[in-house]
Every structure is written in C-alpha cells, then in structure tokens.
C-alpha cells in the first residue's frame, strides 16, 4: 500500500506515522474510518473545558467494536499516533506547546497535517510544505514576500476559512519562534506590521475550546510579539520597532502592539501577573518612548478630518480605543465626536461597536448568535441620549446609502439605550422581554 500512497505525500507527512495509519487500514479498517470522521477527538492536546470522561467513553465505544485478538495492538498503535487518545484513556497529559512541534514534524496528531494521512492528498486551501519552503526563502525580499501574502488573502483557506491568511499567520508565528535567521524574522515583523490591518479585515475566525473567539487580530499580534522576542537583545528590538514605525504601518496593528507592550508593565489600568515567567518584551522606559512616537503617528493620521487616514480606516473605533491609552482620551474622544456628526461615519462606528453574543439555551438545538452593540463603550465618547435620537432620525430619513443590515444595527442600538440615555445590557434586555411575554429578538 505504501508503494502507492507515500510518493504523492513525500515531504508532507511523517513516514513512521504513515506506516502506522497504513497498518491500521490493513488490519482494522473500521478504526481508520472512525479517525477520519472524528479528527478533533484525536488531534492536538486536551482543550480548555474538554470533558475527559466523555472523550474516553467515545474512544472506548469504538474500541469495543474492534476484534479482541487485535484490540491491544490497535490501542498501542493509536496511543503512539495520538497523544490526545492516550490522555483520554487515563494516560498522561501533554502541553499545548507541543502542538507547534508536532506541526513542524508533520505528525498525524497535528490538525495541520491530519487530513493528509486520510485523503492521501493535500486538502484544498492548505499550504504545502514545499510551498512554505518557497515562501521562507523569499522573506528577505519584502516586495515579493508581501505580494505572496496578498495572494494568500485572496485565496480560500481550508476548513471553510475565508482565506489562507489564517494558516499563513499561524506558520509565521511558528517560524518567528523557532528560526535562527534574524534577518528573516525582522523582515516578517516589518511586513506583517505593514499589512496586518488587511489581514485583520478577513473574517478568519475560529472558536478555541468552544468558548474563545480567535481571529486574525490575535494572530497578527502574536506574530509581531514572537518576532520582537526573537530578534536579539532589547537594543535590537527597539531598533527594529523604531525603524518600522518610521515606515508604512497598519494603524490598528501598530496601536494594538504598543498597547500590549504597555500593559505588560501594568499601564492603562491593567495588572502585572505575578506568575509571569517571561520578562516584558521592552523595558518600561523604552515603552514610554515608543508610546510617544506612536501617538504622533496617530495625530498625523487623524489630521484632515473626513479625508484623514484614520477617518477612512475600517477599524477607526478600535484605533481610537487604543489611542485613549497611548495618547489622550480627551483628544481621541474629541476627534471621534467631530467625525460622528456625519451620519455615514456614525453608522460605521456602530458597526465596529457591534458583536455577536453566543448562547445555548435549554430549548436550542444549535448555538444561538445574537447581534448586539456595546453602548456602554460608545458612552465613553458619545452622548447616548443624543445617539438614540440620531438613530431614529437616520432611520426616518432613510438615506440611499443605508443598507438593510445597517437599518437593523440602528434599531438594535436604539433598544440598547434607555430613554434617559443609559446603556442597557443585551442579556438583561432579553430577560425583560421574555418576562413581559414579548419576543426576545424584537428590535422594533
């Protein structure tokens, strides 16, 4: 069997693991079917909130169907292939940090490579090892590397992700953490800081452990942090960051990075973790200098009102939020209020302040998503009573640019502001409606 399956996968899989899967396919084919259909039960390490007992029961159920004379051998092979299976069967646990190692080793227990062993081909949308090697070689050529990155954002990714950007960023983080080629790590930092906002625009979201939303905003930040951490001493880090700031930067990527660097020192109301095992990326003195430089960048980007770079930015509200920490909340708030006098800009701000609440009630067959708007956050900058009145006026005027989705957003915003101008909580509002016998989703 390996004579036919290995050649197309050479360089894409770990040969001993392929031998293990091939052995199971020969002597216990039903086991391979279970694996191929239940990848999450086998790949990676235990996830936050995962029920070990329930997972163990699942594995014991399919094992009981395996012929008794081969069952011990099947169990031993599967344990060697999948550490998560071993953990579920009352074995030792494994650190989640090992997942990056398994990925580099092309192991079947890595979710990045799992499908290759069962499809006997590369899954659609994946980045092959050969392609990745080519990308690593062109990293120092910023123009060529950035063209390749832009191509990734336009191509659909695996497992339904909007683009290949998700896997690209995951691999860049791993590269920055493990490579010894400082010049390439520095090039990764500069390019990702420049194009990070474009990557963040892509809705490549996943939910980790069934609870934690994880998207390209977090991935971009992690690539930037890992790159800074691995370019050398603090002097090298400061030099790289200062040089990048003087060039072209994504405003959200830059402000999120320096905001994080400040929070490592307990700035902006955050707390310093006492159990932190790693020193901050930059000293507090260097962070303070960086904050002043980035504040000047934001001031320049905000100059020109509606024609300014900040006003046109799709994440202007998030940048303003970071600006409040980096510079002055008074200055940031004044700028936002001035821009919000324009109806179209205001609706864009509401969109940026919106999110989806995930819930699963007793009667729900699937997870429920409810659109909400953080009126409590908007209240930091805008008069909510006036905002509610503006929403009504825009709905009444019905300008030609207003879409159905934006109409819904305006209606939701109105319901989440009381008549006295106080922010209301979506969950509390749903409870009140249900108690009154109304529809929980009424936005009229």
Handedness of CA 106, 107, 108, 113 (dihedral sign): negative
DSSP 424-441: --HHHHHHHHHHTT--TT
Q: Which run of H or E residues covers position 212? A: strand 212-214
- What average pLDDT score do residues 312-321 get? 95
- What value does the mean pLDDT take over residues 286-294? 96
Mean pLDDT (whole number) for 185-214? 83
Which long-range contacts does 50-53 make (Cβ < 8 Å, 24+ apart)? Answer: 50/209, 52/87, 52/88
Cβ burial, residue 67 (10 Å; 0-12/13-18/19+):
exposed
Q: Which of 342, 339, 409, 405 has its CA nearest to residue 373?
A: 409
Q: What are phi and psi of 13, to 5 degrees?
A: -135, 165
pLDDT at residue 8 in the model: 63
Note the pLDDT of residue 209.
Answer: 53
Measured CA to CA in angstroms, residue 117 lies from 47, 153, 172 at distances of 23, 26, 24
Q: What's the rounded mean pLDDT across residues 366-387?
A: 87
Tell me what pLDDT residue 274 has.
65
Looking at residue 6, what is its pLDDT? 53
- Round the CA-based radius of gyration of the chain to a whole number and report it: 25
Q: What is the pLDDT of residues 388-440, one digit of tens each?
A: 999 999 999 999 999 999 999 999 999 999 999 999 876 555 555 444 444 54
15-72 per-position pLDDT tens digit? 899 889 888 988 888 898 889 888 889 998 876 556 788 899 999 999 999 999 999 9
CA distance 377 to 13: 48
Cβ(32)–Cβ(67) under 8 Å?
no
3-state secondary structure of 206: strand
Q: How many CB atoms lie within 10 A of CB 109?
A: 25
444, pLDDT greater than 70: no
CB-count burial class (<10 Å; 0-12, 13-18, 19+) for 133 = exposed
| Residue 211 scores a pLDDT above 80 | no
* pLDDT surpassing 70 at residue 188: yes
Pair of tokens at residue 279: 């020193």
Token pair belonging to 136: 């690593």
At residue 207 the predicted structure's pLDDT band, cuts being 50, 70 and 90, is low
What is the arithmetic mean of pLDDT over 325-349? 95
More confident residue, 164 or 205: 164
The answer to whether 187 and 145 are in contact (CB under 8 A) is yes
Cα–Cα distance for residue pair 86/237, rounded to 1 Å: 41
Task: DSSP letter for 160, please.
Answer: G
d(CA 175, CA 444): 51
Read off the pLDDT of residues 63-120 as tens digits, 9 standing for 90 and up: 999 999 999 999 999 999 999 999 999 888 888 778 888 988 999 999 888 888 887 6
Across the chain, mean pLDDT equals 86
Rounded to 5 degrees, φ, ψ at 171 are -70, -35
Element (H, E) at 229: helix 216-229
What secondary structure letter does DSSP report for 380? T
- Tokens read off for 49: 């909130």
CB atoms under 10 Å from CB of 62, counted, come to: 17
User: What DSSP character marks residue 368?
Assistant: E
Phi, psi of 95 (to 5 degrees): -65, 145
* φ, ψ (nearest 5 deg) of residue 127: -100, 115
Question: Would the pLDDT of 153 be above 50?
Answer: yes
What pLDDT, on a 0 to 100 scale, did the predictor assign at position 4? 44
Please name which of 371, 407, 379, 374 lies closest in space to residue 391, comparing C-alpha atoms: 407
Counting residues of the chain whose pLDDT is more than 90, the rounded percentage is 57
Question: 3-state class of 442 per DSSP?
Answer: coil
User: Each residue of 285-295: b (16+ CB within 10 Å) or e?
Assistant: ebbeebbeebb
Predicted pLDDT of residue 38: 87
* pLDDT for position 332: 95
Determine contact, residues 111/105, Cβ cutoff 8 Å.
no
Length of the chain: 444
Sign of the four-CA dihedral 116, 122, 127, 129: positive
Sorting pLDDT into bands at 50, 70 and 90, what band is 278? confident
């Amino acid at each position: 069997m390996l004579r036919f399956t290995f050649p197309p996968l050479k360089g894409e899989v770990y040969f001993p693991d392929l031998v293990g899967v091939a052995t199971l396919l020969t002597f216990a084919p039903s086991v391979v079917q279970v694996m191929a259909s239940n990848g999450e039960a086998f790949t990676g390490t235990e996830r936050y909130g995962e029920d070990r007992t329930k997972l163990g029961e699942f594995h014991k159920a399919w094992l009981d169907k395996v012929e008794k004379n081969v069952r011990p051998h099947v169990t031993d092979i599967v344990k060697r292939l999948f550490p998560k299976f071993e953990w579920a069967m009352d074995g030792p646990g494994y650190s989640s940090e090992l997942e990056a190692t398994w990925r580099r080793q092309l192991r079947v227990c890595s979710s990045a490579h799992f499908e290759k062993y069962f499809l006997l081909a590369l899954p659609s949308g994946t980045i092959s090892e050969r392609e990745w090697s080519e990308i690593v070689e062109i990293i120092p050529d910023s123009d060529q590397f950035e063209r390749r990155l832009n191509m990734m954002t336009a191509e659909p990714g695996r497992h339904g992700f909007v683009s290949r950007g998700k896997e690209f960023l995951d691999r860049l983080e791993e590269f920055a953490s493990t490579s010894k080629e400082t010049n390439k790590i520095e090039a990764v930092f500069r390019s990702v800081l420049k194009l990070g906002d474009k990557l963040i625009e892509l809705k490549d979201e996943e939910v980790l452990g069934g609870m934690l939303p994880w998207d390209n905003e977090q991935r971009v930040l992690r690539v930037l942090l890992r790159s800074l951490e691995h370019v050398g001493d603090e002097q090298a880090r400061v030099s790289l960051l200062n040089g990048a700031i003087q060039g072209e930067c994504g405003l959200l990527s830059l402000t999120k990075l320096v905001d994080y660097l400040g929070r490592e020192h307990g700035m902006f109301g955050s707390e310093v973790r006492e159990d932190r095992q790693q020193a901050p990326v930059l000293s507090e003195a260097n962070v303070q200098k960086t904050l002043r430089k980035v504040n000047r960048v934001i001031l320049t980007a905000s100059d020109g009102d509606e024609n300014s770079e900040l006003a046109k930015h799709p994440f202007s509200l998030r940048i303003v939020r970071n600006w409040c920490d980096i510079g002055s909340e008074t200055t940031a708030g004044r700028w936002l209020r001035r821009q919000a006098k324009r109806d179209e800009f205001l609706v864009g701000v509401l969109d940026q302040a919106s999110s989806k609440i995930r819930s699963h009630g007793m009667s729900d067959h699937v997870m429920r998503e409810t659109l909400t708007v953080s009126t409590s956050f908007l209240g930091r900058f805008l008069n909510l009573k006036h905002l509610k009145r503006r929403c009504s006026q825009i709905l009444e005027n019905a300008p030609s640019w207003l879409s159905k989705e934006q109409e819904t957003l305006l209606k939701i915003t109105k319901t989440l502001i009381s008549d006295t101008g106080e922010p209301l909580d979506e969950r509390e509002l749903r409870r009140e409606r249900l108690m009154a016998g109304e529809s929980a989703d009424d936005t009229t």
